[in-house]
Amino acid sequence: MRNIRDFEPRRALVSPSLLAADFSRLGESVKAAAEAGATWLHWDVMDGHFVPNISFGIPVLAALRPCSDLFFDTHLMISHPARYAEPFIRAGADLITFHIESEDDPAATIETIHRAGAAAGLSLKPGTPASAVAPYLDRIELVLVMTVEPGFGGQRFMADQLPKIAELRRQIDASGRAVRLEVDGGIDARTAPSVRAAGADTLVAGTAVFRAPEGMAAAIRGLLS
């Protein structure tokens, strides 16, 4: 198990989203991400119910865990995260981020994740206000702001989410806790500077990394420059 505290607070990092990788060569893609300088790997888990798409689950993550030392940043876009958090953690997930809009109680789900030994994160769809996170800010390790409607990679970045990122940056700084602020959806060399200026320190990127014409290493450097 890798610990989120191993990563310096506020120091920006990129979490490549495996959803954009070549599914016929997942093992090689994970290795290539590490060789390109990534320290995190973003897993988009979709159940075809919370979002209108189905991606991958526990057996795939378990199969790739022995192949990689990357920090497995697991984004659950599922209706019942409390039911599946522990099996994902046993399979090798280091962080479980679930949606505050899901059907399970957030406080109980966070407790389940911590009891199983992983870090917990809360994600907000574009229509959910920053204030929804406030009751849980004292017990989570990460907040994820969706900058697209969850469900698919390759979508256009929603600039109207920038004020929410800035508001969450203010809330986190006021709390005095080392909570990471992650953004996800349409992040590339054009949009990365604006989310970083708003206060994000963890950038999820699928298309911009796994399908970068300039290569993954240059793409990751470009997002952090």
3-state SS, residue 151: coil
Residue 111 or residue 196: which is nearer to ligand DX5 going by CB? Answer: 196
- What is the binding site for Zn ion (CB under 5 A)? 44, 75, 184
Q: How far apart are CA 12 and CA 160, in angstroms?
A: 22
19 binds ligand DX5, rule: CB under 6 A: yes
Binding-site partner at residue 153 among Zn ion, ligand DX5, none, CB < 5 to 8 Å by type: ligand DX5
Residue 92 or residue 185: which is nearer to ligand DX5 going by CB? Answer: 185
How many residues are present in the chain?
225
Distance linking the first and last C-alpha atoms of the chain: 29
Residue 138 or residue 160: which is nearer to ligand DX5 going by CB? Answer: 160
Identify whether 188 is a catalytic site residue: no
Q: Least distance from C-beta 18 to ligand DX5, angstroms?
A: 8
In DSSP terms, 77 is beta-bridged to 46
**Taking CB under 6 A as the rule, which mask of x and - marks residues 143-162 in contact with ligand DX5?**
-----x-xxxxxx-------
Query: 203: closest CA among 165, 173, 172?
Result: 165
**DSSP secondary structure of 36-62:** TT-SEEEEEEEBSSSSS-B---HHHHH
Query: 78: closest CA among 47, 37, 118, 112?
Result: 47
Identify whether 44 is a catalytic site residue: yes
How many amino acids of this chain bind ligand DX5 (CB under 6 A)?
22
Choose the catalytic residue: 47, 94, 104, 184: 184
Exposure on the CB side of residue 47, measured as CA atoms within 13 A: 15
In DSSP terms, 180 is beta-bridged to 142
Within residues 104-143, the interface with ligand DX5 by CB under 6 A covers: none
Residue 155 or residue 171: which is nearer to ligand DX5 going by CB? Answer: 155
Burial class of residue 20, CB neighbours in 10 A (0-12, 13-18, 19+) = buried
Q: Least distance from C-beta 53 to Zn ion, angstroms?
A: 11
3-state SS, residue 63: helix
Binding-site partner at residue 154 among ligand DX5, Zn ion, none, CB < 5 to 8 Å by type: ligand DX5
The residues annotated as belonging to the active site are 44, 184
What is the contact surface with ligand DX5 in residues (CB under 6 A)?
17, 19-20, 42, 44, 75, 148, 150-155, 184-187, 204-208
